[in-house]
Each structure stands twice: as C-alpha cells, then as structure tokens.
C-alpha cells in the first residue's frame, strides 16, 4: 500500500533529505512537503520535477495556525489519511547562534525559538492527529499496533539529564519542552483503538546551515544522507511500545 508522509520544514537540510530518501526508497510513496516559501525552495522544486505525481509542496509557516489548518484541509481532501508526520523545522536562535550566557537572553529570542521549535509542532499534532489515526500502520515494525507515526526532530542538548555545559537557553529550553510535548502526545494519542506512536529523535550533528557555526571540533559530523538513513531505520523499527521515547539516530534511548 502507498505510504503517505508529511515533512514539515522541507526547504533544506534534514527535512529536504527526508523527502529525497522517502521518495527514492519506495517508488509508490507519496510525500507532502511543507515550507515557508516554496518559490525559494529550489532544491525541493527540483526534486518535484523528477516525481511530480508523488511530491506535493505546500506553503506552511509553522508559527501560523492558519497555514497549518489550510494544509490539513488540503491533505484531508486529497489523501484522507497520513502514515508519517515529521516535524523537522527548527531554529537555534533568531541570531543563528545559541546564547553563551544569561546576558544574551532576550524575550524576543526565546519567543521566536519556542514558536518554531515547540508550539508549531504541537499545533501540527493537534491538526494532523485525526489523519494519523486513519493511517495504514505500514510505517514501523510489523505488527506495529499503530496507525501512524509522529516524529518530532529534537536535539540531545534538549536533554535536562545530559546538560553539563549550560548556555543555548532558547534552544535547550525549546527542545526540552518539545520532548515534554512528545511525551504528552504519546499518552493522549496512545489511547483507543487507533494509536499513534510519537517519538522525539536526535539526528546527530549534521552538516546543515543550523549547525554550521559549530562544525569545528565536532567529533563526528554526519552528512544529511547518513543521518536520514539511520533515522529511517529507527522509524522503521518503531511500534506502539516505543511511544513517548527520545531516541538518537542509532536508536540509543536518551534520558529526558
């Protein structure tokens, strides 16, 4: 059966590579890719020209509920269900660099980062959960005992247990709150007959614009291809027993 995935934040980096990999590994799969400015997403448009019937691009700023509702209505009308949702859009800080100390913290920096990294993914879940409840359950280990899978792209630095260095207030706080979002969703969406497996996933340090200022000295910098290949293995291994967990790219379970 055709798999229908929605990648939120698909213009570049990890989200774009998820689109590429999902489309190339299964010639039947359909991907709905959302981004803020489709006209400027040249790589995504190029990918669409290769598979025009299987890649659908929609405008969606994750900080705007009206955009989310609009794409949800289109997906309901065109597809009637969803098997996989990946909330990939994210930001380190509006400046592009994490705060190094308390004096760099601003209300504006915190609110923009939370709006994108935490509130957006939760509103996405609110709108798309009914479609994931109608999913075909093909994503994940069989029998998966779920209808759909929801993945929130998190970050190891959002682990409170793992925080030994401090700094990066906006990013760390927003990802820790995103992990709580995953946990809460897993409880509510794990009830009833049609269940959704919800996880937080850390991609490793990946060669993208987001991590670019920090590449120097990174012990292992993954290409987007490597990271997504490993993360798809994690997603393929999921069943409802895994819901609410925080995994790394190699399926190690992280503490919140």
Distance CA 191, CA 53 (A): 35
Shortest distance (Å) from residue 10 CB to ligand NAP: 6
Shortest distance (Å) from residue 192 CB to ligand NAP: 29
Show the tokens assigned to 171: 């990013």
What is the three-class DSSP state of 172? helix
Of the pair 37, 255, the CB lying nearest ligand NAP is at 37
Q: How many CB atoms lie within 10 A of CB 177?
A: 16
Of the pair 35, 123, the CB lying nearest ligand NAP is at 35
Of the pair 72, 240, the CB lying nearest ligand NAP is at 72
Shortest distance (Å) from residue 204 CB to ligand NAP: 7
Of the pair 86, 240, the CB lying nearest ligand NAP is at 86
Residues pairing with 106 in the sheet: none
Shortest distance (Å) from residue 200 CB to ligand NAP: 10
Distance CA 45, CA 35 (A): 11
Distance CA 100, CA 98 (A): 6
Residues pairing with 153 in the sheet: 201
The site for ligand NAP (CB under 6 A) is made up of 9, 11-15, 35-37, 61-63, 88-91, 116, 153, 155, 202-203, 205-206, 208-211
């Amino acid at each position: 059966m055709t798999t229908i995935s929605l990648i939120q934040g698909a213009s570049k980096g990890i989200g774009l590579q998820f689109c590429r990999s999902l489309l190339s590994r299964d010639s039947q799969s359909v991907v709905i890719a959302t981004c803020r400015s489709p006209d400027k997403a040249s790589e995504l448009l190029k990918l669409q020209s290769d598979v025009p019937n299987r890649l659908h691009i929609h405008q969606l700023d994750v900080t705007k509920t009206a955009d989310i509702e609009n794409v949800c209505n289109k997906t309901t009308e065109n597809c009637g269900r969803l098997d996989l949702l990946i909330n990939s859009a994210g930001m380190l800080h509006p400046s592009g660099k994490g705060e190094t100390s308390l004096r760099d913290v601003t209300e504006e920096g915190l609110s923009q980062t939370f709006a994108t990294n935490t509130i957006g993914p939760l509103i996405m879940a609110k709108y798309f959960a009914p479609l994931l409840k109608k999913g075909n359950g093909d994503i994940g280990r069989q029998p998966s005992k779920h209808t759909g899978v929801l993945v929130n792209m998190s970050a190891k630095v959002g682990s409170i247990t793992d925080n030994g260095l401090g700094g990066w207030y906006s990013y760390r706080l927003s990802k820790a709150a995103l992990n709580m979002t995953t946990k809460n969703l897993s409880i509510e969406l794990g009830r009833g007959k049609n269940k959704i497996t919800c996880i937080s996933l850390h991609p490793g340090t990946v060669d993208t614009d987001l991590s670019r200022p920090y590449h120097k000295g990174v012990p292992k910098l993954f290409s987007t291809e490597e990271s997504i290949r490993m993360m798809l293995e994690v997603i393929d291994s999921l069943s409802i027993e895994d819901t609410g967990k925080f995994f790394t790219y190699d399926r190690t379970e992280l503490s919140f």
